[in-house]
Amino acid sequence: MAEVTFTNELFHSDELIVVPILQELQENVLNANSKDSNEKKEEKVKILTNLDEVSQKKYQGNQLIASLNEWAEPIGFKLVFSEGKKKLNEGYKRVIRCNNKECCFQMIFMAPHSQKDQNYEPIDQILQYELKEYCNEHNHPLNYKAKSQFSKQILDEIDLLKGQIKTLVDLQNVINTKFGTNFTYAQIQYQVNHLLEQNFGHPTEDATNFVEEMRKDVAQNDGHFSFELGDDGKLEKALFISAAMLM
């Protein structure tokens, strides 16, 4: 075998092996260039977002993206799902990234499911997602402006109406009509749950009140509420699904 650099060195009987030297060289040049431009970008903007608040919470599956955007939008960025829900041995996985395609900001959430129930598909409402892995660095200024931000006035109205209007769909329509907004069902649901949490206190802080309020709510309005106590008699798990959520 011989290396052929000029066509006049070729003979008809030669077996040719073409080595794309030029392409390799081009790729090296391209790689070097893109590395350079990435490095320049990183020098220009590198913003780390503190994830303490997110890592301390559990997120209900059907509210995951809405809840996270309630957190991210005031900081100045928007989050989107980067792939569909995946079922793994240890639970359900959701990957969420910054809506800026060039940005590496990403969060991986897992919701555990019981190994015993391999064939059972839980509804999104009962999946509790927790942050497992992340890249909390943005390479762009955080200047996202949300189209539908909840103002103090809107939140007050939701707080006032949440006990008077029967379903969340009705509440969504009333709010969007009154304020000319375009809030999704999940956004309204998140705010109502958030207000309920504020009004009734955090379950671990005031578990007895929480259990009583939830039982009362289910007795009056239907829905589902169950809870589990630990060996020490403390509230360990609680599941509340309002009538509106089951509709």
User: Shortest approach of Zn ion to residue 21 CB, angstroms?
Assistant: 39
Closer residue to Zn ion (CB): 70 or 213: 70
For the record, the structure tokens of 200 come out as 């009734």
Closer residue to Zn ion (CB): 65 or 98: 98
For the record, the structure tokens of 61 come out as 């599956």
User: Shortest approach of Zn ion to residue 139 CB, angstroms?
Assistant: 7
User: Shortest approach of Zn ion to residue 44 CB, angstroms?
Assistant: 14
User: Shortest approach of Zn ion to residue 229 CB, angstroms?
Assistant: 42
Token pair 């555990």 is at which residue?
A: 112
Say if residues 72 and 78 touch (Cβ distance below 8 Å). yes
Closer residue to Zn ion (CB): 82 or 100: 100
Task: Report the largest interatomic distance among the alpha carbons of the chain, rounded to a whole angstrom.
Answer: 93
Say if residues 58 and 129 touch (Cβ distance below 8 Å). yes
User: Shortest approach of Zn ion to residue 99 CB, angstroms?
Assistant: 8
Closer residue to Zn ion (CB): 78 or 113: 78
Closer residue to Zn ion (CB): 49 or 189: 49
Token pair 């705010």 is at which residue?
A: 191
The residues that touch Zn ion, with contacts defined as CB under 5 A, are 98, 100, 103, 105, 138
96 C-beta neighbours (distance < 10 Å), count:
23
Q: Could you please report the per-residue DSSP string of 62-102?
A: GGHHHHHHHHHHHHT--EEESS--EEETTEEEEEEEESSTT
